[in-house]
Amino acid sequence: MYYHCRSLKYVTYGKVYPPPEDTLEWMSPAYKWLGNYCGYFPQVWLSRSHSTITGIRTRVYSKKQKFVIRKKKYDKERRDFVLFGFDVIRGFPLSYEHWCFIMGDLMANNDLKKQNGAIVKSLNEILFDSKDDDYPLEEELADWVKSGCNLDVYLRDYVFKEKDQVVVPNLNLKSAKKIICRNEKQKKTLRKMGFIEDRIQIKNIERYTF
């Protein structure tokens, strides 16, 4: 199953679209880079087989952690999130771990050539620094070696691979087979929108395993 979560206030009984570009803030260059390959920007994101990378769960923070107030505010907003599950989604595939591994190299600018150059430089530098280590290379770096340190091959065979997630230009929430919310109030709102009641479940999302 493919999972997508969003705040209830942005849920529509029908098609939904990505957020406006001006709301993407610092992530915009990475999404633009991806748009050069998938053909659309920005994107709607879904996770494949599990919900842990959708952002549906809130977190517990120590008082000593930095930015606790800002994070707690975000988590308060996230409590309004609803999770939608779909049987089949045909989208552009993306490996979550590989995406995270190269994301930092995409943030500096919006130029595709410079971004790709930064990926190659970063991967080669990490590989060079790791050559004397006794422990195995990280999977993402080992795959760089398997690709022959060729970016086109690396992207094709390892990054753009349906492993953890897919992106799509839009998403029809009406076709969701499973809808998971947090309380009866959310369920009532979803039911009024037109979603089928039998598909709506109330779960303790922090403890529920998907």
Give the tens place of pLDDT for each residue, 1-27. Answer: 999 999 999 999 999 999 888 888 889
Q: Region 92-98: what's the mean pLDDT?
A: 96
How many residues are listed for the chain in this entry? 210
Is residue 87 within 8 A of residue 177, CB to CB? The reply is yes
Average pLDDT over all residues of the chain: 87
- Sequence letter at residue 37: Y
Check residue 134 and give its pLDDT.
75
Is residue 24 within 8 A of residue 17, CB to CB? The reply is no
The candidate with the shortest Cα–Cα distance to 35, out of 105, 112, 95, is 112
Q: Region 34-63: what's the mean pLDDT?
A: 80
Q: Could you give the CA distance from residue 161 to residue 91 in angstroms, rounded to a whole number?
A: 11
Check residue 131 and give its pLDDT.
82
Check residue 195 and give its pLDDT.
97
Check residue 53 and give its pLDDT.
83
Structure pTM? 0.84
Q: Region 108-118: what's the mean pLDDT?
A: 94
Residue 60 pLDDT more than 50? no
